Amino acid sequence: MSIANFKIIKDYILGKSSPKNTSLLLDWLNQSEANEEMLFQAERMYHEGRGDYRPSAMEMAQAEADVMDRIMQHEDRYRVRIRRLVFLRHAAVGLVIVASGSIALWAGLHMGADDMVCITAQNKKELTLPDGSRVWLNKNATISYPKDFKGDTREVKLAGEALFRVVRNPAKPFIVSSGNVSAKVLGTVFDFKTQCKGNTEEVTLLEGRLEVAEKAGRNKVTIRPNQKIIVDKNTHTMEVREVHAPTGAMWHDKKHTIGRATKSC
């Protein structure tokens, strides 16, 4: 792709890129690190003209995983390269937040690298969050969260599949969000899968009680153990099914332990 075709870069930064143009852009980025830097510079110039908007730590985590979730829908051959691109330590590349029907764009260069932790699992991995909750990441899953859970909630952002064993804290609910679905818990064990066939997302409950919300339609459903909820991202519908939850979570038994994660964005 020629840099003369700047519209493709601009559309990607704005979150408006078509699948065809996104593939062209990813091919171009794969050619050299200089191309990655060129995209970053274009993104920097855009945001320098936007004033002094500052994202919160959780906005940063959500936007990063939203972008990763969007990119990972393309072919597997891009994933290794894009993992490094999206989570550049020096700045974010075209991060997008959709809220109240409008698009808010911002750059990660406004936030210090030490504020966030971003992990992408090349293989199955186990990690411990700052509150002691345990997470098993399936292959190619990405999780983002602040180094310290401040405020009234413990919120993490997920792209891919992960099993969570959450430390109970009724005063500080634990929230796992993707671009379309959020799961709110006090203390429980559940499996969250953001990339399923048919453009759906799935949450399966093993223990405890779980409230699942579909963001676009603002629907909420509470499920009990051995139930799975399937959210259709196109129709915004939610379907609850009875399942044997431990069977669906067996993948996490074979993993690599990495302890408390310290890798910064």
| Digit-coded pLDDT (tens) for 159-194 | 899 999 999 898 899 999 987 889 998 678 888 888
Q: Which of 40-44, 66-70, 93-97, 235-239 has the lowest mean pLDDT?
A: 93-97
User: Using one digit for the tens of pLDDT, what is the confidence trace for 222-241?
Assistant: 999 899 999 988 888 899 99
**Looking at the domain that runs over 116-249, which CATH code has it been given?**
2.60.120.1440
The neighbouring-strand residues paired with 119 are 143
pLDDT of residue 93: 27
Give the Å distances, CA to CA, from 213 to 12, 163, 184.
28, 18, 8
Cβ of 246: how many Cβ atoms within 10 Å? Answer: 14
